[in-house]
Amino acid sequence: MNLDLAGLAFDAGGRLLVRKTLAGLPPGSTVTVTGRDPFLTLHLRAWCRSAGHGTSTTPDGGVEVVTGRRDAHRWAQAERAGEPGTVTRRPPGHWGLAARGALLEAGGPDPAYDLSDRDVVWADLAPRLYAQAAASQWNPATAIPWDATFALPADIEAAVVQIMTYLVENEQAALVIPARLLTRVHPHFREVVGLLAVQAADEARHVDVFTRRALHTGGRMGSSSAGGRASLASLLAEPDFTLASFLLSVLGEGTFVHLLTFLDRHAPDPVTRAVTRLARADEARHVAFGVAHLEHQSASDPTMLGRLRAAVERRHDVLIDTAGLNQDVFDALLLLAAGEWTPEALGRGHLAVQRLQEDMDTGRRRHLSRLGFPDDEAAELSALHTRNFM
């Protein structure tokens, strides 16, 4: 076979033509390369040497290239990292960060991912939820009417600030948990990794907008109770992916969806309404993944319900001596629902907060039933959920 580079220099594009010509040839094939560039022989011979090809010079000044085995050897033990559209049950660690379906040269690192079993991390809903999450991102600078003018009575403003302060610390926990988990998930399950990443990004945005609302009128942040932080610390202490997902997404965020709905309804100003409404939509998505993931797992793991129950009971025992919900937060919720300091209004507020807690309980029981708990057990477990809501 002959390849004439004409006036094209090897270092000015000729290399590509040579590579393309040699690419499909079996080892031992010969190609005579000719051309007019004075550096051609020098460059071609040097390149062939490093690429594992042999060379000799022809009587008319051309270079005869004999293809080597280097490329064939490099890819001899290569394998596909599965198929792009198929999720493998147990992807091996050495597939590592490679794209699903990529051709892997043998010999790379072999990292250990402790979450590498499809039945532990996967949910069939994950690809759709990821697409929805990516499409639902909102810009805090434009989605919130920060320029809207309003003036609230000092007590109502203080209640809003207290609730925002409480929300921030809860969202900090909700940020850290998926961020920690995603580093442990095998990248083969990229939709799950993506969902956890978006979840963490959602929470970062919530922390941001809740903080900005708290400081919007120039005051200081509210209080943070020891019991509230203890409740969140017990959430962070759960190392098991399934149990952490259950406690955070199904029970915690599931409860928070009701809280954010309540705040949207009783928000005294447009900024509070917007931040809680937008956050609520994100949290609902997190709950959907948590439930879908656990449904997927319960289908293959008959011990799962027992482990979920034990996790709730364990957390309840840990928190039994803590105060639960910050009293300042509870009072702030009541005042927001009341809207004013009249006995009638405060009575209405009290009823509204009671209804909120009933709604939270109903929601938790519904999720628990969906996972397979009988009604009485669902009611019992819901009652053991942290009084801190998250």
Partner 1 sequence: MTTFTMGAVAYDPKVVTIWDGFRAWLTAAGLPFDYVLYSHYERQVEDLVAGRIDAAWNSPLAWIRARRLAEARDLPIRALVMRDTDRDLATAVVVRADSGITAVGDLRGRTVATGAVDSPQATLLPLEHLRGCGLQPGTDFTVHRFDVGVGLHGDHVGGERDAARALIAGDVDAACVLDGNHLLFTKEGVLPSGSTRLLTTTARYDHCNMTVTGAADPALVARFEELLRSMSYADPAVRGLLDLEGLTSWEEGRTDGYDLLEAAVTASGFYDATGAVTAAGYRP
Residue 21's closest CA among 32, 12, 11?
A: 32
Q: How far is the CB of 77 from partner 1 (least distance, A)?
A: 6
DSSP codes, 70-129:
HHHHHTTT-EE-S-TT---SS--GGGTTSPTTPEEPTT------SB--HHHH--TTHHHH
Residue with tokens 């009783």: 266
Q: Using the minimum distance from each CB to partner 1, give the nearer residue, 39 or 138.
A: 39
Complex with partner 1: residue 77 or 362, whichever CB lies closer: 77
Length of the chain, please? 390
The nearer residue to partner 1, 105 or 124, going by C-beta atoms, is 105
Cα angle at 200 between 281 and 310, to 5 degrees? 90
Give ∠ CA 350-356-362 in degrees, rounded to 5.
Answer: 140
Nearest distance from C-beta of residue 11 to partner 1, angstroms: 4
Distance of closest approach, residue 267 Cβ to partner 1, in angstroms: 60
- CA–CA dist 236, 128 (Å, integer): 27
* Smallest distance from partner 1 to CB 23, Å: 17
Sheet bearing 54-57, strands edge to edge: 2-4, 30-34, 63-66, 54-57
Phi, psi (degrees; rounded to nearest 5) at 245:
-65, -40
Cβ nearer to partner 1, comparing 2 with 77: 77
| Nearest CB to partner 1, comparing residues 26 and 302 | 26
Closer residue to partner 1 in complex, CB, 26/218: 26
Which positions lie near partner 1, rule CB under 8 A?
9-12, 38-39, 42-43, 45-47, 49-50, 52, 55, 68-70, 73-74, 76-77, 105-107
Residue 56 CB, shortest distance to partner 1, in Å, is 10
